[in-house]
């Protein structure tokens, strides 16, 4: 490949990075403005936790902190309300006494499932109102890209090329 991935390509990447950052911030602000993506009384952080527990079974706070890219303390704060609400449980690790396993309860599953049904949130209506079926497909791809970036593993020396 000639100069395709040269300086111009790089600049485009930087441009995309800035645009993505700004877009991320604006949508987040809008979601706050519309107060409540969820209407369940739980924050997105807490729902993200439920999401992980649902998909990947019982996990420790440390594991959750790693996958969510926050500190253990932040996880603990999300865990407390969820536990109080009976959506998750905490129990001892079978072999390692230091660890506490966090798991989702049937009630937690039900709440998460009901979220996937709730059609009254602002975001759901916004998607329905602004997107064609083709856009919807693109949105699914977009979510995958965001998740991939969130979990990107930039090994030691980034090979610039």
Using rule CB under 8 A, residue 26 touches its own copies:
yes
The rounded distance, in Å, linking the Cα atoms of 58 and 98 is 15
**DSSP result, 103-114:** EE-HHHHHHHHH
Residue ranges of E strands in the chain = 59-60, 88-92, 100-104
Min dist CB 118 to DNA, Å, is 18
- Of the candidates 31, 74, 85, 126, which one interacts with DNA according to CB under 7 A? 74
- Of the candidates 25, 110, 125, 136, which one interacts with DNA according to CB under 7 A? 25
Q: Tell me which residue has tokens 């930039």.
A: 154
Question: Is 88 in a helix, a strand, or coil?
Answer: strand
Using rule CB under 7 A, residue 96 touches DNA:
yes
Closer residue to DNA in complex, CB, 9/92: 92
When computed from its CA atoms, the radius of gyration of the chain, rounded to whole angstroms, is: 19
Residues forming a β-bridge with 104: 88
* Residue 54 site contact among DNA, its own copies, none (CB < 5 to 8 Å, cut-off depends on kind): none
Pick the stretch among 6-14, 59-67, 120-128, 147-155 that binds DNA (CB under 7 A).
Answer: 59-67
Q: Tell me how crowded residue 59 is: count the other CB atoms within 10 A of its CB.
A: 20
The rounded distance, in Å, linking the Cα atoms of 34 and 101 is 35
- Of the candidates 35, 94, 152, 156, which one interacts with its own copies according to CB under 8 A? 152
Pick the stretch among 12-20, 56-64, 85-93, 101-109 that binds its own copies (CB under 8 A).
Answer: 12-20
Residues 108-147 contacting its own copies, CB under 8 A: 115-119, 121-131, 135-136, 138-143, 145-147
Phi, psi dihedrals of residue 71, rounded to the nearest 5°: -80, 165
Residues binding its own copies (CB under 8 A): 10-33, 37-38, 44-45, 47-48, 51, 68-70, 115-119, 121-131, 135-136, 138-143, 145-152, 154, 158-160
């Amino acid at each position: 490949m000639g100069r395709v991935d040269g300086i111009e390509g790089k600049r485009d990447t930087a441009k995309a990075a800035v645009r993505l950052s700004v877009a991320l911030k604006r949508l987040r602000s809008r979601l706050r403005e519309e107060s409540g993506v969820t209407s369940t009384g739980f924050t997105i952080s807490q729902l993200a936790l439920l999401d992980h527990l649902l998909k990947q079974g019982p996990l420790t706070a440390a594991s959750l902190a790693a996958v969510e890219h926050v500190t253990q303390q932040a996880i603990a704060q999300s865990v407390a309300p969820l536990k109080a609400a009976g959506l998750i449980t905490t129990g001892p690790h079978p072999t390692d006494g230091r660890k506490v396993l966090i798991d989702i309860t049937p009630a937690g599953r039900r709440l998460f499932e009901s979220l996937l049904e709730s059609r009254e949130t602002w975001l759901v209506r916004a998607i329905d109102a602004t997107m064609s079926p083709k856009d919807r497909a693109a949105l699914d791809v977009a979510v995958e890209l965001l998740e991939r970036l969130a979990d990107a593993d930039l090994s030691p020396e980034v090979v610039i090329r």
